[in-house]
Structure 1
Amino acid sequence: MRLIVQKFGGTSVASSKVRELVVQKIHSAMEQGFSPVVVVSAMGRKGDPYATDTLIDLARSSYKHIAARELDMIMYCGEIISAVVMAGTLQAAGIDAVMLTGGQAGIITDNNFNNSRILKVDPSRLLSLLRMGKTPVVCGFQGVTVDGEFTTLGRGGSDTTAAALGAALNAEMVEIYTDVDGIMTADPRIVTNAKILDSITYAEVCQLAHQGAKVIHPRAVEIAMQKNIPLVVKSTFSNAPGTLITSTAKGDTQETAVTDKVATGVTYLPNIAQIKITLDAATTHNESYKVFKAMADSGISVDLINVHPGQIMFTVMEEVAEKAAAKLRSLGYAVETVGDCAKVSVVGGGMREVPGVMASFVEALSRNNIPILQTVDSHTSISVLVKKMDVSKAVVALHEKFGLAN
């Protein structure tokens, strides 16, 4: 039995007309000899009647700070509605579809409501249905705890569901259907000559996703990577081949996809604030622990960390900048906050041990008079902090400098 997992996002199931396109994709997989497992998100986007954000707004209309457990209960409803309607659509097309919640499909999670982690997947019920010739339609984004509590997997959780089921079933492939033709070298709203990538490595797409690109949830990629299951990001609305995400496994030999390009893509993360703390140079080493422990205790995630004699710099999301600064001042630190910033990143597996990459990066920004507020780099990415007003100019300049339109 050849297994494939096909995940369809909210725009792919939002109307009866679009759901007919989904039926065609599922039919096509079956004609190629696959037994598909279908994963669906809630219908549409914010403002649509059954979208997750709409349901959240409904719950919070009664009490803004509704408990996370109860919020998960209402968020569960969006995917249930979508899966029931999609199963009915497939049944009408002659496909013997069976709707399952995440828990019924065997997804067991911890009890971290609103952002739970998958502990295990028991695929036995899915395999039983597949052997009977049935097509499971599974609610994405959700699971159940060992004691029966409903949980959700956090934003982008339907991608995670699809990858987890693919790994548990040893599927040949996981297809992620969305409203774009694949993963692009940059945001096409900013870079008009951005292009679709034919392929990309697990590591590169994880970096793009972590640095702000809304392509696929990095947790989904990390799960698929554990069993080396290829992922394909493609469009429900076209027959474009999409973007293949893989490490190119052949038999028992693991190979890394080969590229002669230094960079794969440019992405950005807006709404960031920079925190600067001035210290006595002699106390920086001791105080850095206290600073980051204070942020951890306050539940504040930090990024772009630079520790120098006499100064500590890091970034936080703008929405928690005031809270972070207040906490640090309460501990006696001199704090400066710089708002209206954004993180711009170039990602590429080909930049490892290549001299001159940082020089090219800085040159592209300096030639366009874009001040760099902070930098950080790794083997596969370079990121800088810039003012929000310079984001578009920076993305365009870097996309051109690294030849990503070619």
Structure 2
Amino acid sequence: MRIIIQKFGGTSVASPEVRAMVVGKINQAREQGYTPVVVVSAMGRRGDSYATDTLLDLARASYRGIASRELDHVMYCGEIISAVVMTGVLQAADIDSVMLTGGQAGITTDDNFNNARVMKVDPARIMNFLKMGKVPVVCGFQGVTADGEFTTLGRGGSDTTAAVLGAALGAEVVEIYTDVDGIMTADPRIVPTAKILDIISYNEVAQLAHQGAKVIHPRAVEIAMQKNIPLVVKSTFSDAPGTLITNISKEGPERNAVTDRIATGVTFLPNIVQIKVPLDQDATPMESHKIFRALADGKISVDLINVHPGQVMFTVAEDVAEKAAARLQKLGYSAEARHDCAKVSVVGGGIHEVPGVMANFVEALSLYNIPILQTVDSHTSISVLVKRADVENAVKALHEKFGLAD
């Protein structure tokens, strides 16, 4: 049995016309000899009747602080509605199909409501339906705890659902359908010359996702990488081949495309706050530990960390900055917060140990007179903190400097 996972995002199931296109994609997979498992997101986006954000707005209308457990119950609804509707569309097209919630599909999670982690997947029920010739339509974004509590997997969690099912079922490929033709070298709204990548490595796309690209969830990439399952990001609205995510270079003249290029893409994260905490010059390492332990206990994620004699500096997302400042104040630290920041990153498998990469990065920004507030790098990325007003120029400058439009 050649199993394929086909995940369709919110815009891919938002209207009868688009759902008809989804039927075409599923039929195409069957004609190619695959046995499909379909994963769906909630229909549409904020403002659409059954979109997750619309349901959240409804739940929070009476009380903004409604508990995470209860929010997971309302967030469950969007995918259930979508899966039921899509199952009906398939049945109307004479495709024998069955709808399953995340829990019914065998996905067990921890109890971190709104951002649960998958603990195990039991694919037996889905396999039984596949052997019966049925097409399972699974609610993305969902799981259930060992004691039966509803959970959701965080933003982009339907991608994670597709990946964990692909791993559990031994799928040949996981297709992620969206409203773009593939993964691009930059946001085309900022860089009109941005190109669609035909192939990209797991590590590169995970970095792009972590650094702000919204085309696929990084957890989904990491799960697929563990089992070496190819991912393909493609459009519901066209027949474009999309972007292949894999560790294996394709055959032909571009077989080294994954490993030979220095940079793959430029991306950014807006709404970042830089926090500086002054310390005594003779402060011990335990002082830094206390700061980061307090933030960790508050489930506050930190980034761009620099620890120096007399100062600790890091960044947090705008929506947790007030909480971070309060925890630091409770410990007796005064913190300086800068709110007008954004993180811009160049990602590429060839960045590590290539002479001149950082020089080119800094030169590109200096030509636009863009001040660098902070830096961090890894094996596959270089990131800088800049003023939010400089984001577009920074992305354009770096995209041009690293030849990504060529």
Report if TM-score (shorter chain) is over 0.5.
Answer: yes
Unaligned runs of 5+ in 1: none
Question: 1:162 maps to what in 2?
Answer: 162
Matches within 5 A, 1:250-329: 258-283=258-283, 285-329=285-329
User: How far did residue 25 of structure 1 move?
Assistant: 0.3
Counterpart residue type for residue 171 of structure 2: A
Question: 2:84 maps to what in 1?
Answer: 84
Name the CA shift for 1:71/1:258 in 2 (closer, same or farther; >3 Å).
Answer: closer
Question: 1:141 maps to what in 2?
Answer: 141
Supply the distance in 1 between the matched residues of 2:166 and 2:208 (Cα, whole angstroms): 22
Counterpart residue type for residue 97 of structure 2: A
1:232·1:245 contact (CA, 8 Å) conserved in 2?
Answer: yes
User: How far did residue 332 of structure 1 move?
Assistant: 3.1
**If the length of structure 1 is used for normalisation, what is the TM-score?**
0.96
Question: 1:233 maps to what in 2?
Answer: 233
2:249·2:258 contact (CA, 8 Å) conserved in 1?
Answer: no
User: How far did residue 292 of structure 1 move?
Assistant: 1.0
User: How far did residue 358 of structure 1 move?
Assistant: 0.6
User: How far did residue 146 of structure 1 move?
Assistant: 1.7
RMSD: 1.5
Supply the distance in 1 between the matched residues of 2:377 and 2:141 (Cα, whole angstroms): 32
Per-residue CA distance 1:136-167 (angstroms, 9 max, x = gap)? 11111101112222111111110000000000
Per-residue CA distance 1:176-195 (angstroms, 9 max, x = gap)? 00000000000111011001
User: How far did residue 82 of structure 1 move?
Assistant: 0.5
User: How far did residue 325 of structure 1 move?
Assistant: 2.5
**If the length of structure 2 is used for normalisation, what is the TM-score?**
0.96
Counterpart residue type for residue 86 of structure 1: M
Supply the distance in 2 between the matched residues of 1:330 and 1:104 (Cα, whole angstroms): 44
Counterpart residue type for residue 96 of structure 2: D
2:199·2:258 contact (CA, 8 Å) conserved in 1?
Answer: no
Counterpart residue type for residue 221 of structure 1: V
Supply the distance in 2 between the matched residues of 1:218 and 1:31 (Cα, whole angstroms): 31
1:344·1:384 contact (CA, 8 Å) conserved in 2?
Answer: yes
Per-residue CA distance 1:188-218 (angstroms, 9 max, x = gap)? 1101100100011111111111111101001
User: How far did residue 296 of structure 1 move?
Assistant: 1.7
User: How far did residue 282 of structure 1 move?
Assistant: 1.8
Counterpart residue type for residue 180 of structure 1: V
Supply the distance in 1 between the matched residues of 2:86 and 2:319 (Cα, whole angstroms): 37
User: How far did residue 284 of structure 1 move?
Assistant: 5.3
User: How far did residue 231 of structure 1 move?
Assistant: 0.3
Per-residue CA distance 1:276-335 (angstroms, 9 max, x = gap)? 122222215332112111222333211100111222110111222233233323433342
Question: 1:127 maps to what in 2?
Answer: 127
Name the CA shift for 1:14/1:192 in 2 (closer, same or farther; >3 Å).
Answer: same
User: How far did residue 257 of structure 1 move?
Assistant: 6.8
Name the CA shift for 1:147/1:331 in 2 (closer, same or farther; >3 Å).
Answer: closer
Counterpart residue type for residue 128 of structure 1: N
Supply the distance in 2 between the matched residues of 1:360 and 1:334 (Cα, whole angstroms): 36
1:284·1:309 contact (CA, 8 Å) conserved in 2?
Answer: no
Name the CA shift for 1:323/1:99 in 2 (closer, same or farther; >3 Å).
Answer: closer
Supply the distance in 1 between the matched residues of 2:42 and 2:375 (Cα, whole angstroms): 38
Name the CA shift for 1:405/1:256 in 2 (closer, same or farther; >3 Å).
Answer: closer
1:279·1:334 contact (CA, 8 Å) conserved in 2?
Answer: no
User: How far did residue 19 of structure 1 move?
Assistant: 0.2
Question: 1:114 maps to what in 2?
Answer: 114
Supply the distance in 2 between the matched residues of 1:157 and 1:190 (Cα, whole angstroms): 26
Per-residue CA distance 1:212-247 (angstroms, 9 max, x = gap)? 110100111111111100000000000000000011
Counterpart residue type for residue 52 of structure 2: T
Unaligned runs of 5+ in 2: none
1:365·1:397 contact (CA, 8 Å) conserved in 2?
Answer: yes
1:305·1:314 contact (CA, 8 Å) conserved in 2?
Answer: yes
Supply the distance in 2 between the matched residues of 1:186 and 1:220 (Cα, whole angstroms): 21
Supply the distance in 2 between the matched residues of 1:56 and 1:326 (Cα, whole angstroms): 26
Supply the distance in 2 between the matched residues of 1:61 and 1:142 (Cα, whole angstroms): 23
User: How far did residue 249 of structure 1 move?
Assistant: 8.4
The alignment partner of 1:233 has SS state of strand
Counterpart residue type for residue 206 of structure 1: A
Supply the distance in 2 between the matched residues of 1:13 and 1:327 (Cα, whole angstroms): 42
Question: 1:198 maps to what in 2?
Answer: 198
Question: 1:378 maps to what in 2?
Answer: 378
* Total equivalences in the alignment: 402
The alignment partner of 1:189 has SS state of coil
Supply the distance in 2 between the matched residues of 1:284 and 1:365 (Cα, whole angstroms): 36
Supply the distance in 1 between the matched residues of 2:122 and 2:263 (Cα, whole angstroms): 39
The alignment partner of 2:260 has SS state of coil
Question: 2:405 maps to what in 1?
Answer: 405
Supply the distance in 1 between the matched residues of 2:140 and 2:335 (Cα, whole angstroms): 43
Question: 2:214 maps to what in 1?
Answer: 214
User: How far did residue 65 of structure 1 move?
Assistant: 1.7
